[in-house]
Amino acid sequence: MIIDIIKKDITPSHIEDIAINILASMEEYKTQIMPVVNGENKFLGIIEEVSILNMDNIQQSLQFTQREFKNIFTFLESHIFESIRIISENKIAILPVINKNFQYIGYITAIDILRKIGQNSMMTQETNIIVIAVTPKNYSIYEISRLIEENSGKIITLWHETSEEKLHLHLLITSNNTKSIIKTLERYDYVITESFLETSNSENLNDRFESFIKYLNP
């Protein structure tokens, strides 16, 4: 559940708001997208900065660019892994959250999601992210998990995406010796395309997650 990481500090735009004022809100909130609602707080979609800038007249309301709204959101009851998938596939920094009646609740960010996934394990072991590229026919989560556990590691969660006929596995793991895990995987011909390793004092947690999101959203 994502309820405890929902943020509400961004006021959603209204369908009747003037477009140029939305640009000012984006600047204030340091975001390039804004959730849009109607008078009953029903979620209508997200509007991107570029869509507003491409309007013939930014002194008009968002109604004149409604066809550019993107129906990207997650439900309040959705699994946290589903939210990661939506953020990654759509390359967005914030993800609107709505209830079953399509009422806007707030938003979540990728960094907060990853922090929530790893927060329980960080107390005793380092939390790291590695990305493995495999062909679908050679994919064996059993073998990958075995190799990680043989090096005193544990998979907290994983998600995957397909690109150029390869399966890219994103593994969030706990281990005090991730470099050994990487070497073992490479000995078994697994290609490690990215790794985001924990520092000993966890001071760079936010920076590492930022780097990971930049990898997901080039």
Same domain, 22 and 86: yes
Over the Cα atoms of the chain, what is R_g? 20
pTM score of the predicted model: 0.65
pLDDT at 206 over 70: no
Predicted local confidence at residue 124, as pLDDT: 52
The last residue of a domain, from among 66, 97, 113:
113
Mean pLDDT of 81-103: 88
Average pLDDT over residues 178-188: 93
Between helices 110-118 and 205-216, what is the axis angle to 10°? Answer: 120
- For residue 125, give the CATH number of its domain: 3.30.70.260
| The two three-digit tokens of residue 170, written as one number | 């994103």
The residue from 87, 113, 139 where one domain ends is: 113
Same-domain status, 58 and 95:
yes
pLDDT, one tens digit per residue, over 125-141 is 677 888 899 888 878 88
Q: Please indicate, yes or no, whether residues 75 and 176 belong to a single structural domain of this protein.
A: no
- Do 58 and 14 lie in one domain? The reply is yes
Let me know whether 86 and 127 are in one domain. no
pLDDT given at position 123: 45
Q: Evaluate the CA torsion angle 3, 72, 27, 216 in order and state its sign.
A: positive
